[in-house]
């Protein structure tokens, strides 16, 4: 049964970092990211290798901020959009950190943070974990749709896969400076709403997001007003409206504090991203660059974070299979909390 979990001890965000490509730098959050390569190549010869380098750079930045080396983490949880998560394994194979590869599509950031925090909270031997997730527009287009050279037409419901990454170092040890905390979360369940269109991932993910929200508030002591923001990622414009419609049909209160990472990353007035951003690097980079600093600075006290994923493969789509959605949830609190 799907249940919210509150950890017996909080897990602290020791540090975090974000890195992006040129298109993301042009968006509303452009000045908030830690690193940008306008070319999107990150010094690599191919787009796939560029994503590996993006993952390596992002984790290195987070470690540098925390003042630690690759010898310190007890565990690395990493994922991306490439087959078998090869971008992540290739990027970090030389570090010698015990590794778990994750694939939750756009939900990978929340999945990794929840799993990592759960392991730290339950263990007496694990004290520091690294969570990294990335996506790359050009690599994702070649794998899931058509190479960019083909010049295929993108429908209005399509989302732009972010060339972006987010890295997080989490610990059960109390840091010597104000940090955001992970207080708990809930694992999403797979929801198949029959969506067959790979260019409309928002519609595939929205029912899973709505289900997680409804289940969480039904089974926990929280109400929507307990959170400064209820953040989804990455439903985009299309999926956000569908999710709100489902919540309304279930007599759920209007979410006046809802924001979506896919609608925050780009400026649709000057960037042709259609229904917004997507990719597991989208919500990870927005979380690191935008929302966690709010908690650290006291601009927000509590945030509910649902990273949504459309679980599909090119072969499954060609065979006419529907797209399953999922939405794991993480509860973040700032240094000053209320209970």
Domain with residue 64: its CATH number is 3.40.47.40
| 256 and 313 together in one domain | yes
Of the given ranges (15-19, 56-60, 108-112, 195-199), which has the lowest mean pLDDT? 195-199
| 53 and 11 together in one domain | yes
Asked, for residue 339, whether it belongs to a domain, the answer is no
Of the residues 171, 197, 219, the one at which a domain ends = 171
Q: What is the pLDDT of residue 178?
A: 87
Q: Record the tokens describing residue 292, joined without a space.
A: 């966690």
Contact partners, residue 221, CB within 8 Å, separation at least 6: none
Asked, for residue 338, whether it belongs to a domain, the answer is no
Q: Where in the sequence is the domain holding 198, given as residue range(s)? A: 181-333
| 156 and 264 together in one domain | no
Alpha helix stretches (DSSP H) within 161-286: 201-219, 236-249, 261-264, 280-286
* Pairwise CA distance, residues 210 & 239, whole Å: 10
**Does 339 have pLDDT greater than 50?**
no
Task: Report the pLDDT averaged over residues 4-29.
Answer: 97
**Smallest Cα–Cα separation from 91: which of 127, 161, 44?**
44
Asked, for residue 176, whether it belongs to a domain, the answer is no
pTM for the whole thing?
A: 0.95
Of the given ranges (110-114, 235-239, 316-320), which has the lowest mean pLDDT? 316-320
Question: Within 10 Å of residue 126's Cβ, how many Cβ atoms?
Answer: 17
Asked, for residue 57, whether it belongs to a domain, the answer is yes
φ, ψ (nearest 5 deg) of residue 178: -60, 130
Residue 192: pLDDT band (50, 70, 90) is: very high
| 73 and 139 together in one domain | yes
Contact partners, residue 101, CB within 8 Å, separation at least 6: 78, 79, 84, 85, 88, 89
| 63 and 151 together in one domain | yes
Instruction: Name the one residue in this structure whose structure tokens are 């058509």.
Output: 146
* Pairwise CA distance, residues 193 & 189, whole Å: 13
**Domain count for the chain:** 2
Question: Within 10 Å of residue 227's Cβ, how many Cβ atoms?
Answer: 21
User: What does the chain come to in residues?
Assistant: 339
Residue 198: pLDDT band (50, 70, 90) is: confident
| 162 and 205 together in one domain | no
Q: What is the pLDDT of residue 143?
A: 82
Task: Report the pLDDT averaged over residues 319-331.
Answer: 97
| 139 and 229 together in one domain | no
| 72 and 193 together in one domain | no
Residue 85: pLDDT band (50, 70, 90) is: very high
| 213 and 130 together in one domain | no
Of the residues 143, 171, 199, the one at which a domain ends = 171
Asked, for residue 244, whether it belongs to a domain, the answer is yes
Asked, for residue 231, whether it belongs to a domain, the answer is yes
Q: What is the pLDDT of residue 260?
A: 98
| 185 and 210 together in one domain | yes
Asked, for residue 189, whether it belongs to a domain, the answer is yes
**Smallest Cα–Cα separation from 42: which of 163, 166, 144?**
163
- Each residue of 22-53: b (16+ CB within 10 Å) or e? ebbbebebbeebbbbbeebbbebeebbbbbbb
Task: Report the pLDDT averaged over residues 296-304.
Answer: 97
**Does 337 have pLDDT greater than 50?**
no
Tell which wins on pLDDT, 285 or 155.
285
Of the residues 122, 137, 171, the one at which a domain ends = 171
* Pairwise CA distance, residues 34 & 63, whole Å: 13
> Which strand (E) or helix (H) includes residue 335?
none
Asked, for residue 28, whether it belongs to a domain, the answer is yes
What does pLDDT average to over the chain? 94
Residue 147: pLDDT band (50, 70, 90) is: low
| 305 and 163 together in one domain | no
| 280 and 142 together in one domain | no
């Amino acid at each position: 049964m799907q249940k919210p979990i509150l950890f017996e001890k909080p897990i602290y965000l020791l540090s975090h970092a974000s890195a992006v490509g040129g298109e993301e730098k042009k968006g509303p959050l452009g000045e908030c990211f830690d690193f940008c390569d306008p070319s999107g190549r990150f010094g690599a010869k191919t787009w796939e290798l560029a994503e590996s380098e993006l993952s390596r750079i992002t984790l290195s930045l987070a470690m540098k901020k925390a003042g630690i080396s690759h010898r310190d983490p007890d565990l690395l949880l990493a994922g991306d959009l490439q087959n078998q998560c090869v971008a992540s394994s290739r990027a970090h194979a030389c570090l010698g950190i015990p590794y778990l590869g994750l694939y939750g599509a756009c939900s990978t950031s929340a999945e990794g943070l929840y799993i990592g925090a759960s392991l730290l909270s339950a263990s007496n031997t694990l004290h520091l974990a690294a969570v990294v997730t990335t996506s790359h527009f050009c690599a994702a287009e070649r794998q899931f749709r058509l190479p960019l050279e083909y010049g295929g037409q993108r429908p209005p419901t399509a989302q732009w896969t972010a060339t972006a990454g987010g890295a997080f170092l989490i610990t059960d040890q109390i840091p010597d400076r104000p940090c955001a905390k992970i207080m708990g979360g809930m694992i999403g369940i797979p929801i198949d709403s029959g969506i067959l269109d790979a260019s409309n991932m928002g519609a595939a993910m929205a029912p899973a997001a709505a289900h997680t929200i409804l289940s969480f508030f039904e089974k926990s002591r929280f109400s929507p007003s307990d959170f400064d923001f209820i953040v989804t990622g990455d439903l985009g414009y299309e999926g956000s409206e569908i999710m709100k419609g489902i919540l309304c049909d279930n007599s759920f209160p209007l979410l006046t504090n809802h924001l979506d990472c896919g609608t925050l990353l780009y400026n649709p007035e000057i960037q042709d991203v259609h229904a917004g951003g997507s990719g597991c690097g989208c919500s990870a980079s927005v979380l690191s660059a935008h929302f966690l600093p709010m908690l650290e600075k006291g601009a927000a006290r509590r945030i509910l974070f649902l990273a949504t994923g459309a679980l599909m493969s090119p072969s499954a789509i060609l065979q006419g299979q529907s797209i399953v959605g999922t939405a794991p949830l993480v509860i973040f609190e700032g240094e000053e909390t209320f209970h």
